[in-house]
Amino acid sequence: MPAPFDVLRIANCSGFYGDRLSAAREMVEGGPIDVLTGDYLAELTMLILWKARQRDPDAGYAVSFLAQMHDVLGTCLERGIKVVVNAGGLNPAGLAAKLGELAALGGLHPVIAHVEGDDLLGRLPELRDKGHAFANLSTGRPLADSGVEPVTANAYLGGWGIARALRAGADVVICGRVTDAALVIGPAAWAFDWAPDDWDRLAGAVAAGHIIECGAQATGGNFSFFTEIEYPVHPGFPIAEMRPDGSCVITKHEGTGGAVTVDTVTAQLLYEIERPEYLNADVVARFDTLRLEQQGPDRVLVTGTRGEPAPDTLKVCLNHLGGFRNSATFVLTGLDIEAKARFAEASLLDATGGADRFDEFDLRMERPAADTARLTLTVKDADRDKVGRALFTAVAGTALASYPGFYLEQASPRPTEYGVYWPALVPAAEVTAEVVLADGTRLDVPRPPTAARERRERPDSAAVAAAEPRRPDDSGPTVRAPLGRLVGARSGDKGGDANIGLWARSDEAYAWLRAHLGVDELRLLLPEAAELEVVRYELPNLRALNFVVRGLLGEGVAASTRPDPQAKSLGEYLRARPVDIPMDLLPNG
């Protein structure tokens, strides 16, 4: 057991593979911390790492982590700062070995452990034979009936492997695919000696982990009200000061840019979630029970998170190769923009032989001004040649015979291979995590007690009830204004679905938002969702609504043909849409 902690300061230094390299040094040198964590893995990242491993069998991990450790490992060992990351990707053993080599070159000898058990690719035939269908969570289609062969298959492990490694004396714990929040759950469970059924405490750690997992998004990055932050550039990365009861304070190092406010924390809590019951491998955290309180400058207290028993299934991230894609962007200027777009479309259909020649033929126009537009053609097909040189030749051949003012902003004869994300579930009992120490010793990881949870493909009763709110009688004058004058937003992707979290900054504004923004109203504001399933959830403690738009992103990030395949800008687009708002609710109204 470690010495008792009154507070465990868990810092984040990475929100994705490619985040600010200097963040590790900034967090270690900027003030006191006890644990340095880093999140490097998105669903798409697993495919990127697979491609790297095809070139080099010893690769498959986030190499940027090694550069960060070059800067801070010595200081971490000197100060007793534990390092816990998921940078291992598809090869945590390889990263652990490489870090050991680099540490030895610097005369350092950290105790390095890594966690295994998440990689199910080699076990898929066995698991299928047992009757596990790996049905796609978005479409319901069983993997066996899909005709695809996954290249990655990784279960989301929880935090107990991390806790086990820390209890064994590890200075650095390297994981592969674990839940993002596991990077906080594991250290907190170790420091405070939590039991696997300490549901409320574990749920508090899930909330903390979700808040800090995306780095500077909790400290003013990607924040709707960024103009209110005095120093928004180069924000400091977040710290969760965990307490034994599972509550925490979200903060950052003094003197760094950005801000930590109830609003910045709310925005991150709403990021990439669905229903308020946030499922994790170790616990189900009820985000509709937690409360936020501003305790002082850059300090937000998070309390009250209730937990329920862990689900008896684990989410699995599978990726398979989808084929090849290519795109070309045409610029339209001047008069008759719509007619020019129709002319360009007809010319392209004629030149390429028609949309039916491709697996997918997507043509969409963006019009930033009345006299300017961009028309982007994206094609996808299993045949590389069809979407490569042949497409380029067909597009180029229309150049002198198309609309007046024709010019290409982008076109290439070289297609790109894309992957498809396939989310699925597997029984938790089928997945066994192990901690591996540097000397080869393997330590078992206890499984938390679980409870069966029904997979609800359709909205639950609470969501249905919330979908069409009762509208009170309005009184008083209104003004036509952008929705964002009143509310903030944060949006993101959940496979092929998109989420849009909207929050109000006062009780009165939330009452209006709750009463006036239902599913039908959202579809009017967001025309591309008009024919899609939309689910609405309420989180009154956060004064927030969360909308999930099913299928907006097609097959997901790498395969989506939207200009914004991760729906990062969707919330800000929605904030710009005009609505009728009571004048007395608007700032300076």
Residue-wise pLDDT for 277-291, tens only, equals 999 999 999 999 999
Residue 556 confidence (pLDDT): 81
Across 170-247, where does the E strand assignment appear?
172-174, 238-242
> Judging by DSSP bridges, how do beta strands 407-410 and 434-437 pair with one another?
unpaired
Residue 563 confidence (pLDDT): 83
> Judging by DSSP bridges, how do beta strands 284-286 and 277-279 pair with one another?
antiparallel
Against a cut of 0.85, is the pTM above it?
A: yes
pLDDT in tens, 391-441: 999 999 999 999 999 999 999 999 999 999 999 999 999 999 999 999 999
C-alpha dist (Å) from residue 133 to 6, 136, 143, 425: 45, 9, 6, 9
Which residues make Cβ contacts (< 8 Å) with residue 583, sequence separation at least 6? 476, 477, 478, 479, 589
For range 532-550, the mean pLDDT:
97
> Judging by DSSP bridges, how do beta strands 172-174 and 82-85 pair with one another?
parallel
Judged against a pLDDT cut of 50, whether residue 456 lies above it is answered with: no
How would residue 476 be classed by pLDDT, with cut points 50, 70 and 90?
confident
Longest alpha-carbon distance in the chain: 77
Tokens describing residue 315: 């989410």
Residue 329 confidence (pLDDT): 96
Neighbours of 128 (CB within 10 A): 14
High-pLDDT (> 70) share of the chain, %:
96
Residue 2 confidence (pLDDT): 55
Judged against a pLDDT cut of 80, whether residue 361 lies above it is answered with: yes
How would residue 544 be classed by pLDDT, with cut points 50, 70 and 90?
very high
* Residue 214 half-sphere exposure toward CB, CA atoms < 13 A: 21
> Judging by DSSP bridges, how do beta strands 313-333 and 372-381 pair with one another?
antiparallel
Q: How far does the chain reach from its first CA to its final CA, in angstroms?
A: 57
